[in-house]
Amino acid sequence: MNKYKFPDKFLFGTAVASYQVEGGIYNNDWTIWENKKNSVCVEPCKEACKHYEKLDEDIELLKNLGIRAFRFSIEWSRVEPSIGEFNDQAIKHYVDKAKMLIKNGITPVITFHHFTTPEWLYNDGSWLNSNADDYFNSYVDKMMQVLPKDITYFNTINEPGIFAFFGYFSTTKFPPGIANETKFIKASEIIMSAHKKALRTIKSYNSNAKVGMTHALQEWEDDDKNKLKEYLKYHLEDKYLEASEDDDFIGLQTYTIVRYPKNILLKLFNTVLLNVNFIRKYILPRIIQIFAGRNGAIPSGTRITKMGYEYRPEAVLYNLNRLKNKFPDKQIFITENGIATDNDDERIEFVTSVLKDVHEFNLENSNVIGYLYWSLLDNFEWDLGYQMNFGLVEVDKETFKRNPHNSAYWFGNISSTNVLSID
């Protein structure tokens, strides 16, 4: 048996997001988005996994499995249901949640924004509202006043590139569904400003806090000099990494490789697409929706996950090396990584491959501080509904009973011992 020992301080854990697991949230942009006429969503979220109601049970589950870290998001729309009006009961819920985790020996990792925005802000321009960064910072300030001071790890905004790109450069993925380059860039700038303001606020209340955004970084075809690819890479990833220059750590979230079709027309019209203002502003977003990403770009016969992603556990190592080159001295926290599959053995295989690469990388660099599996529970996967099955724990959709997979016990053992054992 081969054993891969990780440092004692290395954090193994799991992750969830409020809207995807809590249930009973009906006052944010996603509620509007998924219930509107001709919605692109497979189904509405509704009660999700009832994690809000079943918090005690889920923390007990984490403890019994041996999970030592738990990343969760605070639902802004619960905390501030109307502008400037805060819900003390909701605030207490999240404060108590953090305290319960700490009491049970589980390190909380707090995320302040995981894709959902309060309805009141959505109705007032969402992240195109020039005051959105201040509104967000006010909410963070309110929470930092009461969150336990012994919390170390904070994420301000989850995957800002995905959040902005899907919401403001696409009509088919995330609210508000605006496909306009000018508005996308404006929203991106406000989101990055919100992050920087929140970072300063968090540190003003907690001098020991380690703060960072989480970044959805894909594996790219580096030998492809496609100008469109480079444009998208910058607007999806690179500019947000630049905005993380002052962060304490980089939150890394990666799953697959992004391939672009070797379509001759795209090659020929790269210059037109990127240099004619009208086309870039209005037409490019729609071209991307048709051709970019995984639509028709994965080679025939390639192994894929249930999400339609190319099966690429090696994407993590690719981005560890990329981050090392960009931020040689900065800590890296793998705040989300996993696989959507109906085959639990495949889940174990995938995570094993990732962790072997992380272990090898850390032998030389020692700056990866943790790995959080996505996710603890089979949850609501945004526009794709409940069919993706990322969870270590199955959730019965009628009774909400938790049924841990073999992978949950396997991963819990890794988390409790910091040892990956391979026969």
pTM of the predicted model as reported, rounded to 2 decimal places: 0.96
Q: Provide the pLDDT for residue 278.
A: 82
Q: What pLDDT is stored for residue 47 in this prediction?
A: 97
**Strand 219-220 vs strand 210-216: parallel, antiparallel, or unpaired?**
unpaired
Successive 10-residue mean pLDDT values, the chain, 423 residues: 95 98 98 94 97 98 98 98 98 98 98 98 98 98 98 98 94 92 96 98 97 96 82 94 98 89 63 79 74 60 91 97 96 98 98 98 94 98 96 97 98 98 92
- State both tokens at 125: 């321009």
| Inter-axis angle of helices 406-417 and 344-365, nearest 10 | 20
- Compute CA distances 16 → 78, 114, 120, 158, 278, whole Å: 16, 10, 24, 11, 40
- Give Cα separations from 267 to 225, 275, 285, 309, 385 (angstroms): 10, 14, 16, 24, 35
Per-residue tokens: 84: 């400037």
Q: What is the pLDDT of residue 293?
A: 44
| Ranges assigned E (strand) in 191-304 | 210-216, 219-220, 249-253, 257-258
Burial call 18-29: b when 16+ CB within 10 Å, e when fewer:
bbbbbbebebbb
Look at the chain and report how many structural domains it folds into: 1
pLDDT the model gives residue 119: 98
Q: Reduce the DSSP state of residue 325 to 3 states and report it.
A: helix
Residue 323 is part of a domain; what is its CATH number? 3.20.20.80
**Segments forming the whole domain that contains residue 68:** 2-422
CA gap 216, 344 in Å, rounded: 24
